[in-house]
Amino acid sequence: MVITKSRLVLGATAVTLSTIAVTSLGIHSRGQALFKASPKELVDEVWQIVQRQYVDGTFNQVDWQAVRKEYLSKSYSNPQEAYKSIREMLKKLEDPYTRFMDPAEFKNMQVDTSGELTGIGITISQDEKTKQLVVIAPIEDTPAFKAGVLAKDVILKIDGKNTKGMDTNQAVSLIRGEAGSKVSLTIQRNGQTKQFDIKRARIEIHPVKFSQKKTPAGNLGYIRLNQFSANASKEMQTAIKDLESKRVAGYILDLRGNPGGLLFSSVDIARMWLNKGTIVSTIDRQGEREREVANGRALTNKPLVILVDKGSASASEILSGALQDNKRATLVGTQTFGKGLVQSVRPLEDGSGLAVTIAKYHTPNDRDINKHGIDPDVKVDLTDAQRQDLWLNERDKLATLKDPQFAKAVDVIGKKIAAQGAATAEK
């Protein structure tokens, strides 16, 4: 994420952050100024932003000039009428990530840099093909996580209201609420319907947890990264330095269920593991690339294995893709989520906001992972029952040899450590 004077760029955010409260980004709506746009001016402002920045220069094969003429020919007596037209206009792009937010919705989605959120702790998106609301991942140790919500769950109803045709902004408004209140989610998973009654809460997220692990491969550093928040890179640096001082032989970085977050958090963290090479390329509609590269300041060169699954999205895919393509890490687990688009979030004149897809990103080997995700080097599948037992019912097994994906990671890193030792001996 890049904060500029004019906009907030969610370079690697997987989804609408449906439960996050906003207070401290320092973005103040221009609607607080003396000047306020008329409803028609607001419609035109949105059209102009899309015209200038949208990643697809064909606008989904839509005559975007004709769209402007159509919607500016209408009369608007209040902001709500303009909001309705703006949403109709944006639907023509068929892009769930390009979306309009009224002032309340915009306030609800902005990221609080303190890492505190209010809600149930899930990130959601709208499936581009089915238009269904899908859970990207529950955030670890939040109410949704503890209730048993899983990545790729389809949300059929919110408090009994059918979500068919509902966009993520509407879902956000229904899912959010005061701490202590409850929300009911009807979920479809593998053809079965389940209901979850979840109590909302205020949640403080610490993105990094780490420990030493005594394993058959030796003394390993285990780092669990839950989210790429503003303080993630600082906490990652602390974890690596602490584990280096304990002379671990190698590292297992756990990105399972990590839905993403801030683009430059992922870049900063990649630089801690990678001394040289490209990390990620962002490509705009003119085909112009902006590359982020390593800066020669890696904190360790010891063997690294990364754990990924279908809940690893966006910034997680940037990090794992960068380290995989540069042959710095071996990926173990299952195929990742597949979200490779970049959004810019703009405050509008009346306090509302607009998220617009402005670019896509590719891995260093020029892989476009959008909709496909990243394939692990070593595949280890878990059934939904295994995942639920591991992450909810039997958490003491997580990151132990009773965790099948972790156990395979230990096996893989053991061979890497042995190979590195042999290479050193030959020198």
Q: Which residues are catalytic?
A: 314, 325, 339
Token reading at 279: 């990390």
For the chain, the 3-state helix, strand and coil shares in percent, each to the nearest 5, are 30, 25, 40
C-alpha angle 395/122/9, rounded to 5°?
A: 125
Helix axes 64-72, 79-91, angle to 10 degrees: 160
Using DSSP bridges, classify how beta strands 378-379 and 330-333 pair: parallel, antiparallel or unpaired. Answer: parallel
- How far from the centroid of its chain's Cα atoms is residue 251's Cα? 23
Amino acid at 338: G
Nearest alpha-carbon partner for 110 in 204, 18, 232: 18
Nearest alpha-carbon partner for 80 in 100, 54, 51, 50: 100
Helix axes 232-245, 263-273, angle to 10 degrees: 20
**3-class SS of residue 220:** strand
Token reading at 264: 């430059």
Token reading at 339: 């979200």
Nearest alpha-carbon partner for 207 in 187, 233, 232: 232
Buried b (16+ CB within 10 A) or exposed e, 299-325: bbebbbbbbbbbbbbbbbbbbbbbbbb
